[in-house]
Structure 1
Amino acid sequence: MKKVAFIFPGQGSQSVGMGKPFFDENETIQTQFQKADALLDTPLTTYMFEGPEETLTKTEHTQPALLLTSTAIASLLNEAGVKPAMVAGHSLGEYSALVAAGALTQEDALQLVQTRGRLMEQAVPDGQGAMAAVLGLEVEQIEEVLQQVRDNGVVVEVANYNCPGQIVISGSQEGVQQASEQLKEQGAKRVMQLNVSGPFHSSLMKPASEQLEQALEQASIKDAEVPVYANVTAAPVQSSSDLESLLVQQLYSPVRFHETLQNMMDEGIEAFVEVGNGKVLSGLVRKVNRRMKTFAIQDPESLQQFIDWYKEDEA
């Protein structure tokens, strides 16, 4: 068997129409989607297939929509006999990774991320938090600027270490604005404000993390069957207590995705399989190592192409 890693996308990868190609031709997927609508008491499938986009992009809808799509595709991979050697997810995607690793049920994960989305929305009043992507500057330069801005008494921190030359910052509106101006002066190619509803992965999320901890304690998290590379540490984890603790920390800690990808590559992975909507993570993999083989599974055709490759040596 080939040695593959599954990676699961986070917020920002959603789009109207997501998951529909699988739903249209697979009864198992139809059942999963219908159960999710009932469980969450939300017409999630309608938002996913028909929009409107502004409804789908509300955090409390986006998070379960992405998780449902990713975990539904992962269940089809499992049915086809594909077993990942390890898994990881970007932010929200870590919950999908835990489902694929057998640490969470799809039902528990859906309820958790709906709660997580609501808590993230409520943590900071609308318009008071912000995030921005910084392109083309070294990490050390960015962190130096952020420290100078924090010395002025405002909050701004690194939220995502995505790949070489792409860092996301998060904090108060004022903090992100001050940092953005200074980073441009320092030579950043671009600093782009992100269309998000809050300062995710910053210390401003700590109040939400305390409430999330209560929800996680009520969910049944098991030991993972395969290593899950955690956002907070970029290291493999399998014990349920560690997984739970890291999910709490994840809300206010930076996502160390570049390091995660590198650590997984160091384990001799033959391919990364992006399981879910979009191709954002596949792009990040190529920026870390352009020779690395990637698959992005978001419709039945790309699923079959990957399965054919995975099983080609079995004949």
Structure 2
Amino acid sequence: MGGSALLRALRHRGLLYNGQRWMSGLGRDGEEIQTMLEEAYTDRGEEEKERPRLDRRSLTESTVLLFPGQGSQELGMAGGLLKYPNVREMFLTANKVLGYDLLDLCLRGPIDMLNKTVYCQPAIFVTCVAATEKLTQENPTLKYLCIVALYAVKVRAEAMQKASDAVPSGMLSVVGKWQTKYSTACAEAQDHCLNLGIKDPVCEVANYLFPNCRVIAGHMEAIQFLQDNSRKYNFSRTKLLPVSGAFHTRLMEPAVEPLAEALKGLTFMKPLVNVYCNVDGRRYKQGPAIAPLLTKQLVSPVRWEQIMHAIYERRRGKDVPRTYELGPGQQMGAILKACNLKAWRSYRQVDVFKEEDTEVA
């Protein structure tokens, strides 16, 4: 991905580079990346100096992009994207930012390493960004993200991994029934932990996925208690997620300061397209409010069900936008189907896995 392309991606996403502090830990590779950004910043021959104006389109002409998160990772992801322009270069640039071969990890693992937060978050991020390259080839109206955001993801992943290593914890996907009392289940799981001698136990809803489905996170003893007593709490199905910590709970508080410090080197502008916040389920409206919400997201539940309603809710008879899921798996599509069947009928998943005619070596 060339320097001018990086700058265009930054500006279209409402994110601008501001200062050099976040490059300080990257050594020689950091100097190279810094040079790329400086060249991009001064290269204005291919673009207007003012922020571009977007055409107002009808709902039938609009597009929704859904990006999966941690827990969707699988070996082989990104293998089906390598034949598209710029994808290999994206991974080579990511290697310089991260300090390891990200593409090899995505394709060959080992899976235990890929499942670790410190590796998983950058892997999913870059794979999702690369998937937009495939989508632009088939529908050339969309562009991709940049290395500045990847560095923020790197800092976030490292901080969350450190917080996860400090306390044995996990996340449990729970499908309940109309009579399920999630607050009661979490409270009794916390009492169980207290009886085991665990001080200040955590067990709380970390993600509102779709009607009657939650992700509960906390101390591993609490998670195990809920699994063992699923019938008592009217859980029809439970599944332990392949993640290494209790994300979006107060167990992630140690990760807040490192991420906030990394974000100080960035200036956020008002997004040119609607981008929804996981903390409150609403659109980001002002650039300065974005960074505080990104840090708050670490310790706040994800309001995904609310976001789905906010995006697709409209008057009867109105068409819904096209929806693409970019990344490994079809989890976002399954959630969309449970939230809004009409919107799901206009959904398509952009496959990121190896196709028979794709060379990955």
TM-score, length of structure 2 as denominator length: 0.72
The whole-number CA distance in structure 2 between the counterparts of 1:124 and 1:275 is 27
- Per the alignment, residue 197 of structure 1 pairs with 244
8 Å CA contact retained: 2:320, 2:342: no
Which of 98, 109, 119 is matched with 1:61 structurally?
119
- Per the alignment, residue 13 of structure 1 pairs with 72
Distance of aligned partners of 1:20 and 1:135 in 2 relative to their CA distance in 1, 3 Å threshold: same
SS in 1 for 2:302: coil
The whole-number CA distance in structure 2 between the counterparts of 1:235 and 1:189 is 30
8 Å CA contact retained: 1:156, 1:169: yes
Once the two structures are overlaid, the 10-residue window that deviates more, 149-158 or 36-45, is 149-158
Q: Cα distance, 1:183 vs. partner?
A: 4.4
- Per the alignment, residue 276 of structure 2 pairs with 229
Q: Does 1:215 align with 2:266?
A: no
Once the two structures are overlaid, the 10-residue window that deviates more, 146-155 or 111-120, is 146-155
Which of 122, 128, 134 is matched with 2:162 structurally?
122
Cα displacement string for residues 197-249 of structure 1 (whole angstroms, at most 9, x for unaligned residues): 11111111112112211111123433211111111111111322221111101
Which of 291, 298, 302 is matched with 2:351 structurally?
298
Alignment of 1:238-249 (within 5 A): 238-249=285-296
Task: Supply the RMSD in Å over aligned alpha carbons.
Answer: 2.5
Letter in 1 for 2:105: Y
The whole-number CA distance in structure 1 between the counterparts of 2:285 and 2:136 is 19
The whole-number CA distance in structure 1 between the counterparts of 2:141 and 2:213 is 32
SS in 2 for 1:236: coil
The whole-number CA distance in structure 2 between the counterparts of 1:76 and 1:225 is 22
Structure 1 residues not aligned, in runs of 5+: 84-98, 303-315
- Per the alignment, residue 311 of structure 1 pairs with none
Letter in 2 for 1:53: I
Q: Does 1:135 align with 2:175?
A: yes
SS in 1 for 2:128: helix
- Per the alignment, residue 30 of structure 1 pairs with 88
SS in 1 for 2:259: helix
Q: Cα distance, 1:301 vs. partner?
A: 11
- Per the alignment, residue 14 of structure 2 pairs with none
Letter in 2 for 1:284: I
Once the two structures are overlaid, the 10-residue window that deviates more, 265-274 or 240-249, is 265-274
- Per the alignment, residue 270 of structure 1 pairs with 321
Give the fraction of aligned pairs with identical amino acids, expressed as a percent: 28
Cα displacement string for residues 247-267 of structure 1 (whole angstroms, at most 9, x for unaligned residues): 101111111111101110115
8 Å CA contact retained: 2:71, 2:241: no
Distance of aligned partners of 1:164 and 1:236 in 2 relative to their CA distance in 1, 3 Å threshold: same
Structure 2 residues not aligned, in runs of 5+: 1-56, 195-199, 356-361
8 Å CA contact retained: 1:142, 1:183: no
8 Å CA contact retained: 1:5, 1:269: no
8 Å CA contact retained: 2:275, 2:284: yes
8 Å CA contact retained: 1:155, 1:171: yes
SS in 1 for 2:86: helix
- Per the alignment, residue 49 of structure 1 pairs with 107
The whole-number CA distance in structure 2 between the counterparts of 1:55 and 1:145 is 32
Q: Does 1:170 align with 2:217?
A: yes
8 Å CA contact retained: 1:171, 1:204: yes
Q: Cα distance, 1:184 vs. partner?
A: 2.8
Alignment of 1:183-194 (within 5 A): 183-194=230-241
8 Å CA contact retained: 1:234, 1:259: yes
The whole-number CA distance in structure 2 between the counterparts of 1:16 and 1:211 is 29
Distance of aligned partners of 1:50 and 1:300 in 2 relative to their CA distance in 1, 3 Å threshold: closer
- Per the alignment, residue 110 of structure 1 pairs with 150
Aligned length: 282
Larger radius of gyration: 2
Cα displacement string for residues 290-310 of structure 1 (whole angstroms, at most 9, x for unaligned residues): 2322111124999xxxxxxxx
Cα displacement string for residues 88-120 of structure 1 (whole angstroms, at most 9, x for unaligned residues): xxxxxxxxxxx95xxxx5201111112111111
The whole-number CA distance in structure 2 between the counterparts of 1:147 and 1:36 is 42
SS in 2 for 1:124: helix
Cα displacement string for residues 59-82 of structure 1 (whole angstroms, at most 9, x for unaligned residues): 111111111111122245456433
Distance of aligned partners of 1:46 and 1:237 in 2 relative to their CA distance in 1, 3 Å threshold: same
- Per the alignment, residue 128 of structure 2 pairs with 70
SS in 1 for 2:292: helix
SS in 2 for 1:188: coil
Distance of aligned partners of 1:226 and 1:139 in 2 relative to their CA distance in 1, 3 Å threshold: farther
8 Å CA contact retained: 1:164, 1:258: yes
TM-score, length of structure 1 as denominator length: 0.81
8 Å CA contact retained: 1:226, 1:238: no
8 Å CA contact retained: 2:180, 2:235: no
8 Å CA contact retained: 2:175, 2:235: yes
